[in-house]
Amino acid sequence: MKSSAPGKIILFGEHAVVYNRPALAVPVNQVQVDVEILDSDSAGIWIHAPIIDLHAELNSLQSDHAIGSVILKVLSLLDESPSSPNIQINISSTIPVASGLGSGAAVSVALICALSSFFSLSLTDNQINEMVFESEKLHHGTPSGIDNTVITFNKPVYFIKGQPIETFTVGKPFTIVIADTGIPAPTKESVGDVRKLWEKDKNKYESIFDEIGQISLIARRSIESGQPEMLGDLMDHNHSLLQQLTVSSPELDKLVLSARDAGALGAKLSGGGRGGNMIALVNQAEANQVAESLIKAGAKNTIITEIK
């Protein structure tokens, strides 16, 4: 039994989304997590995830282990008590860890989908989304739920915390270059730091969140109405607001500036910030040139993706 889940990028609205403002995110299908479940001769549930150097039997993991707890949750849904099925779970991924591409949520989505099929549980997307969100909450402090939603539904989403899921249509395809600083940056920390700032001066940070929320709204309209070229300025503006939230970094700023110098229509960090990835809007014909400039400016990896 095999299942996979894509990576994701946040186009607009990260951080403000934690404070109930809208954000836009899209799946990135050039990278993915694959989960395979096989019957096995060894006793127990063996998990092999070479990307995080995990080779263990389920019972040897702490009960709050990110992968182990997801498996236990699915097993708890089985009618009969899990008379310890003998299975092997292989997890592989091309999504860089802790870099804003949703690797953690993608592992959970692919794992739950594979277990659901293996045990014929027929879980719905909404149920899967809810379970992954529970796991995200255990490991990421106060997540908004945007990662699990865009990855579970594998469609562009306009996301407001706690509100029904809205997917949106892309009026005219557009091209994004994603560049990785190579610096792992746990989202929990940047989200926690923004919370501390907000607690000290709520008026100031609420108005930054408002401005970011407006950008997400205008961006959605631009995308739906087939005017993606409008997104460049919106990205630049969103990046400057993220700088004010202190979640950019010298490396991210350098990549953002290089992308613009190389002809990108706009650029910003994407995700939790401090490290991880940035994104740039480009004319398709210039995508390779921008990607090359980003590598010269220090990016460890680039992905060119068409949003459609």
Options 3, 11, 15, 156; binder of ligand PMV; rule CB under 6 A: 15
Smallest gap from Cβ 27 to ligand PMV, in A, equals 13
Query: Per CB under 6 A, which region of 12-20, 46-54, 209-217, 289-297 contacts ligand PMV?
Result: 12-20
User: Which single residue brings its beta carbon nearest to ligand PMV?
Assistant: 271
Q: Judged by CB under 6 A, does residue 135 bind ligand PMV?
A: no
Annotated catalytic, 147? yes
Count of residues near ligand PMV by CB under 6 A = 15
Residue tagged active-site, from 53, 64, 147, 236: 147
Name beta bridge partners: 90.
Answer: 36, 48
- Cα gap 201→194, rounded to integer Å: 11
Options 3, 14, 87, 157; binder of ligand PMV; rule CB under 6 A: 14
Q: Judged by CB under 6 A, does residue 116 bind ligand PMV?
A: no
Q: Judged by CB under 6 A, does residue 146 bind ligand PMV?
A: yes
x/- site string to ligand PMV, residues 71 to 110, per CB under 6 A? Answer: -----------------------------x-x--------
> Considering beta carbons, is residue 21 or 65 the nearer one to ligand PMV?
21
Tokens of 206: 């609420």
One-letter amino acid identity for 219? A
Q: Judged by CB under 6 A, does residue 180 bind ligand PMV?
A: no
- Cα gap 150→68, rounded to integer Å: 23
Query: Per CB under 6 A, which region of 89-97, 120-128, 144-152, 223-231 contacts ligand PMV?
Result: 144-152
> Considering beta carbons, is residue 87 or 280 the nearer one to ligand PMV?
280
* Residue bearing tokens 């282990």: 65
Q: Judged by CB under 6 A, does residue 10 bind ligand PMV?
A: yes
Q: Judged by CB under 6 A, does residue 187 bind ligand PMV?
A: yes
- Cα gap 21→32, rounded to integer Å: 28
Q: Judged by CB under 6 A, does residue 272 bind ligand PMV?
A: yes
Options 11, 17, 252, 259; binder of ligand PMV; rule CB under 6 A: 17
Phi/psi at 220 (5° precision): -60, -45
CA distances in angstroms from 203 to 142, 209, 210, 213, listed in the order given: 21, 10, 10, 15
Tokens of 165: 């899921």
Contact 267, 47 (CB under 8 A): no
The dihedral of CA 239, 209, 214, 144: what is its sign?
positive
Smallest gap from Cβ 186 to ligand PMV, in A, equals 9
Q: Judged by CB under 6 A, does residue 275 bind ligand PMV?
A: no
Helix or strand holding residue 6 (H, E) = strand 2-12
Tokens of 256: 């953002």
> Considering beta carbons, is residue 237 or 262 the nearer one to ligand PMV?
237
- Cα gap 1→5, rounded to integer Å: 14
H/E/C letters for each residue in 175-232? EEEEEECCCCCCHHHHHHHHHHHHHHCHHHHHHHHHHHHHHHHHHHHHHHCCCHHHHH
Question: What residues are labeled active site?
Answer: 147
Residues that bind ligand PMV (CB under 6 A): 10, 14-15, 17-18, 100, 102, 143-144, 146-147, 187, 191, 271-272
